[in-house]
Amino acid sequence: MKALIIVDVQNDFLPGGALEVSKGDEIIPVINYIQKDYDLIVATQDWHPANHQSFVSQHPGKLPFEIIELAGMTQVLWPDHCIQDSYGAQFAEDLQLARVEGIFRKGLNPFIDSYSGFYDNGRLKNTGLSGYLKDRGVAELHVSGLAADFCVFYTAMDALSEGFKTSIISKATKAIDKGAMMEKKNEFIRAGGLLI
């Protein structure tokens, strides 16, 4: 079984959104087109309470993209984004969802961020995604979505550690920080991942 995971293709990550990824909208037709090649499709959804401690609004005097310490880890302060039930948290209007069988939400705990669809950044909680995919007989996972350098990267790294044969689909993802992407690609390949 080969599965596609669509990571965080939500309005706030598209051009004009609160945490926009440059050209993020360009991956939507690609993701729609490739869906026919998969036995199973799942999605993740960044789903933060309004007081999430990764939000710059929660740290007066700090600037977006500054780095602080949170829950004992370094944390980027993000523009407030993907607030539960907001327009920004909704999936992109043009994204085809008819074949998406499971939606895994993350980032609900205000005190810890969660980039991967499998675990939060402190590995305190398992979303159940790994068990779900294994129960469905998935051996191979292809990762798409936003953003390449955060939630796509960490989801793909965790997929490898969970034992899936894992690929990132280059044309189906875009990065927030293109400059930092090369190092992350190398790290993924060193861990046994494929770029396709």
Answer for which of 8, 20, 25, 158 binds ligand VGL (CB under 6 A) is 8
Beta strands 73-76 and 67-70, pairing class: antiparallel
> Which residue(s) pair with 174 in the sheet?
146
What is the phi/psi pair of residue 43, to 5°? Answer: -135, 155
**Tally of CB atoms within 10 A around 181:** 17
Q: What H or E segment, with its residue span, contains residue 34?
A: helix 27-34
Catalytic one of 46, 82, 106, 113: 106
Is residue 46 near ligand VGL by the rule CB under 6 A? Answer: yes
Pairing of strands 140-146, 67-70: unpaired
Q: From 35-43, 83-91, 124-132, 147-155, give the range in contact with ligand VGL by CB under 6 A.
A: 147-155
| Binding at 83: pick from Zn ion, ligand VGL, none (beta carbon under 5-8 Å per type) | none
Residue choice 38, 104, 150, 188 for contact with ligand VGL (CB under 6 A): 150
List helix spans (H) across 129-195. 129-135, 153-161, 181-190
Which x/- pattern over 165-184 shows residues binding ligand VGL (rule: CB under 6 A)?
--------------------
Quick one: 100 or 134, whose CB is closer to ligand VGL? Answer: 100
Using rule CB under 6 A, residue 25 touches ligand VGL: no
Q: Is 134 a catalytic residue?
A: no
Binding to ligand VGL by residue 120, rule CB under 6 A?
no
Q: Are 167 and 142 in contact (CB under 8 A)?
A: yes
As a whole number of angstroms, the distance between CA 28 and CA 42 comes to 15
- 78 or 164: CB nearest Zn ion: 78
Residue 20 makes contact with ligand VGL by CB under 6 A: no
Q: What is the largest CA-CA distance in the chain?
A: 49
Nearer to ligand VGL, 33 or 65 (CB): 65
- 3-class SS at 55? strand
Binder among 146, 157, 159, 169 for ligand VGL (CB under 6 A):
146
Residues designated as active site: 8, 106, 151
